[in-house]
Chain A
Amino acid sequence: QKEVEQNSGPLSVPEGAIASLNCTYSDRGSQSFFWYRQYSGKSPELIMFIYSNGDKEDGRFTAQLNKASQYVSLLIRDSQPSDSATYLCAVNSGGSNYKLTFGKGTLLTVNP
């Protein structure tokens, strides 16, 4: 059973702070890693993907990947109340390039 684990939270940070979201995965063969944001009652929305070890930055978001430790993280700088949502980590699994295994998500609350 390929697994993706996330702390369910809630993670609460003040506005302007850095939010750090973490994810571990069990399938060492995974090659693609994604972060989706899901607002309450809405569908998941892709915000970042990363394929290589290291950091990838996109605006206020930075994804970090460490394949040796089977660890993916998402940093959100200058957190805004509009960032309050559940963040889903997803990993391709089973050696496929389409099959994504999702974590159950971390609920982030940014307090004004």
Chain B
Amino acid sequence: DAGVIQSPRHEVTEMGQEVTLRCKPISGHNSLFWYRQTMMRGLELLIYFNNNVPIDDSGMPEDRFSAKMPNASFSTLKIQPSEPRDSAVYFCASSPDRNTDTQYFGPGTRLTVL
């Protein structure tokens, strides 16, 4: 079975540009998580979806960040406008259901904002 799929794997953009990160969870998983990882702050949960509905977005840093899950097999994380401090690795993870703690991570997207 394919694991969590993320695209692009690397993104380099200039400050002020819009960035869209994409995620396909493991088939049959109905919980999806977006994380950000930096050296300074470690791995932080940005937003959590269950059955395509955002349940907890308390980790989204500011209004420049938005996330959607239009169906069970696709989610996006958008940053508009991007800033250099957004440079990080963004991971998507999925879990079989909301009562399962086990989360499976995608390969991540390394974002660099110049």
| Chain A residues close to B by CB (< 8 Å) | 32, 34, 42-46, 49, 88, 92, 96-105
Contact = CB atoms under 8 A, between A and B. Distances in A.
A63 B36 CA distance: 26
A98 B102 contact: no
A99 B104 CA distance: 14
A78 B104 CA distance: 27
Contacts, number: 46
Interface of B is mostly: strand
Interface of B: 31, 33, 42-45, 48, 50, 55-56, 91, 95, 98-99, 101-108
A34 B105 CA distance: 14
Contacts of B48: 98-99
A45 B102 CA distance: 10
Nearest to B99: A97
A49 B103 CA distance: 11
Most chain A CB within a 10 A radius of its CB, from B31, B43, B101, B103: B101
Contacts of A46: 102-104
